[in-house]
Structure 1
Amino acid sequence: MHAEHLHLWQHNHAFGQERRRPGEQRTLIVIAITLVMMLIEISTGILFGSMALLADGLHMASHAAALGIAAFAYVYARQHARDAEFSFGTGKINALAGFTGAILLALFALIMAWESLARMLQPVTIAFDQAIAVAIIGLIVNGASVLILDAGHDHHHDQDATSHSHHHDHNLRSAYLHVLADALTSLLAIFALLTGKYFGWVLLDPIIGVLGALLVARWSWGLMKTTSAVLVDRQGPESIRSKIRASIEQDTQDRVTDLHLWSIGPNLYAAAISIISHKPRQPAEIKRMLPTDTGLAHVTIEVNPCCTQGTGT
């Protein structure tokens, strides 16, 4: 075969990752908002002597770092989408960033729990009026950030336990959970400050802090499960595998003997399929039979005659 004809059988592995994803711009906007609010809460916390505000500001700093990781992942994946060193493109950088964000969420939950337990043992004096005012501003800002990221957040969940992650931009989901955790922290802080001011229930603040930490830990665990499944190439959804088998075996004597399906990016899958057949067909013909609504971006097909030496059939 002439070298000039090789390009007809070659293709890149960008799979659309070179395009700017909707979550990238939203993440950058939220980073700017978070940094401004972080500076306000830290400065007012120091000025008014409010440990609650200072702690919330430091929490926002940790989330700003997590959002920064998300933004970096978007840019890096886009700029290296056509880099041949990435066997199946840069789609998994999305899951890697999401997994990193999940770990940071878990650390955030531990810090929340630690600070709450410390306040149970050593209560601090709080300037309630100033702290409540700034906490309300924080809630408004965090709520706006949640809405910005939620605009691109896919809420569909597949019932297949191995697959519900494939509907998500894991990087965006990580950013979304971080700002949602911030909003939850602000809401709980307001409730605790109000009860402390009007009812003297100072101990309620650390108790609510522990409950909030448990909720954030649960979000973290869920995100870890979905992103780690992508990173370790766990088998893709059974619903898609069933469609692939049905498209190949229906009305034929062909049988799928081995099928590997794994995620290579948001809504993108690669598949390696082994088929045994009485009348072997060309792989190109079989590829045309595969379902087009499953996100299959890279497919390798091996066709074997069923009556081969040593098979016993």
Structure 2
Amino acid sequence: MKNSSAKRLFITLIITLIIFSAEIIGGIISNSLALLSDAGHVFTDSFAIILSLIAAIIAKKPSNRKATYGYQKIGILAAFINGVSLIIIAILIIFEGYRRLISPPEINSNLMLSVAFFGFLGNLLMALILGHKHEDLNIKSAWLHVIGDTVSSIGVIFAGLIIKFTGWILIDPLISLLVGLIIIYGGSRVIKESLFIFLDFTPRGFDVNEITEKIGKIKGICDIHDLHIWSIGYGIPAFSAHVVVDVKLLSEADKIRSEIEAELIKIGIKHSVIQIESCKCSKNSFYCNLGHPHSDIHN
């Protein structure tokens, strides 16, 4: 595979399937819900990583007439589905944990500890492979799956030690409830970030008023309206606006456009569409008043 993200996801998938097999067998034999809940989380990990792997390959396809912006949002869609799957599995874990609090079963703590420790090492390895710095929400969602499972493995180990040395078996469903809440937190974050992009909300870190003021300071600009900032993909902001200028020559208007693009690049926006106009905007336009003497529009 030429795609480095796809390589990392493929290796992570192999490790995930090995851990899942070990934990599901160990959970059934030891009768540990904490271990089975961890296996359930690992199962969603494998599903999430497969989805992320497919999305990572498709997202690298160049733009074409079917997708003029490219395929980056395929990865965002995968991230959203991964986030939803995290919350669904967490709800199932919490439900089973509650049931076992009422009627706790006997648990083989030695087997539970052995399998949980093996799972912890595998999850730690996967987290290192995927890394902690991400420019792709799709990869980030897969990493959050793995991190959530690493934390849950620690919880299972802790529960196993408590059961082994104290015999308090209620710690098993209690830990599974905690794992469920951790998974819900991670899943809700991914869903929120992906929806921000799908709904074309202004990307975090960009203030429309500040950007408008910076552009408005460029000599020759009267007004700015129909201004939009959104994300083409994770970490790929885009900008469009109508800019009213008081120059007469096309070369001067083009110089202003270049200055606007340079300001946008400074703040991290490389994709921009700027329409230059030579007349004043209407009174209901967006962000028209920049304090220039040429503008008779007041907010």
Output the TM-score relative to the length of structure 1. Answer: 0.80
Equivalent-residue separation in structure 2 for 1:281 and 1:86 (angstroms)? 35
How far the C-alpha of 1:75 sits from its partner, in A, is: 0.9
- Tell me the residue number matched to 2:245: 277
Q: Answer with 95-104 or 237-246: which moved more.
A: 237-246
What are the superposed Cα offsets for residues 117-163 of structure 1, whole Å, 9 maximum, x if unpaired?
12112212211111111111111111111122225x24xxxxxxxxx
- Tell me the residue number matched to 1:110: 91
Q: Tell me if the contact between 2:33 and 2:172 (Cα under 8 Å) persists in the aligned partners.
A: no
Matches within 5 A, 1:228-239: 228-237=195-204, 239=206
How far the C-alpha of 1:218 sits from its partner, in A, is: 1.6
Q: Flag structure 1 segments of 5+ consecutive residues without an equivalent.
A: 1-18, 155-167
Q: Structure 1: which amino acid aligns with 2:112?
A: A
Q: Structure 2: which amino acid aligns with 1:259?
A: L
Matches within 5 A, 1:158-197: 168-197=135-164
Q: Flag structure 2 segments of 5+ consecutive residues without an equivalent.
A: 285-294
- Tell me the residue number matched to 2:256: 286
How many matched pairs? 279
How far the C-alpha of 1:248 sits from its partner, in A, is: 3.0
- Tell me the residue number matched to 1:304: 277
Pair 1:199-2:180 in alignment: no
- Tell me the residue number matched to 1:34: 16
- Tell me the residue number matched to 1:83: 64
CA RMSD of aligned residues (A): 2.7
Pair 1:43-2:25 in alignment: yes
Pair 1:267-2:235 in alignment: yes
SS at 2:105's partner residue?
coil
SS at 1:296's partner residue?
coil
Equivalent-residue separation in structure 2 for 1:308 and 1:63 (angstroms)? 52
SS at 1:123's partner residue?
coil
Pair 1:59-2:41 in alignment: yes
What are the superposed Cα offsets for residues 82-129 of structure 1, whole Å, 9 maximum, x if unpaired?
232113111222221111111111112112211211211221221111
How far the C-alpha of 1:266 sits from its partner, in A, is: 2.9
Equivalent-residue separation in structure 2 for 1:136 and 1:38 (angstroms)? 13
Pair 1:93-2:74 in alignment: yes
- Tell me the residue number matched to 2:125: 144
**For the structure 1 residues 238 and 249, does the alpha-carbon distance in structure 2 shift closer, same or farther, using more than 3 Å as the test?**
farther
Q: Tell me if the contact between 2:196 and 2:203 (Cα under 8 Å) persists in the aligned partners.
A: no
**For the structure 1 residues 310 and 94, does the alpha-carbon distance in structure 2 shift closer, same or farther, using more than 3 Å as the test?**
closer
Pair 1:257-2:225 in alignment: yes
- Tell me the residue number matched to 2:192: 225
How far the C-alpha of 1:240 sits from its partner, in A, is: 6.1
How far the C-alpha of 1:24 sits from its partner, in A, is: 2.6
Equivalent-residue separation in structure 1 for 2:23 and 2:248 (angstroms)? 68
Q: Tell me if the contact between 1:105 and 1:178 (Cα under 8 Å) persists in the aligned partners.
A: yes
Q: Structure 1: which amino acid aligns with 2:144?
A: L
SS at 2:60's partner residue?
helix
How far the C-alpha of 1:257 sits from its partner, in A, is: 2.2
**For the structure 1 residues 106 and 286, does the alpha-carbon distance in structure 2 shift closer, same or farther, using more than 3 Å as the test?**
farther
How far the C-alpha of 1:194 sits from its partner, in A, is: 1.2
- Tell me the residue number matched to 2:104: 123
Output the TM-score relative to the length of structure 2. Answer: 0.83
Equivalent-residue separation in structure 2 for 1:95 and 1:297 (angstroms)? 20
Q: Structure 1: which amino acid aligns with 2:64?
A: D
Q: Tell me if the contact between 2:45 and 2:145 (Cα under 8 Å) persists in the aligned partners.
A: yes
Q: Tell me if the contact between 1:267 and 1:295 (Cα under 8 Å) persists in the aligned partners.
A: no
SS at 2:201's partner residue?
coil
Q: Tell me if the contact between 2:32 and 2:172 (Cα under 8 Å) persists in the aligned partners.
A: no
Equivalent-residue separation in structure 1 for 2:175 and 2:31 (angstroms)? 21
Equivalent-residue separation in structure 2 for 1:143 and 1:108 (angstroms)? 21
Q: Tell me if the contact between 2:113 and 2:157 (Cα under 8 Å) persists in the aligned partners.
A: yes
How far the C-alpha of 1:241 sits from its partner, in A, is: 4.1
SS at 1:95's partner residue?
helix
Q: Structure 1: which amino acid aligns with 2:101?
A: M
Equivalent-residue separation in structure 1 for 2:282 and 2:105 (angstroms)? 81
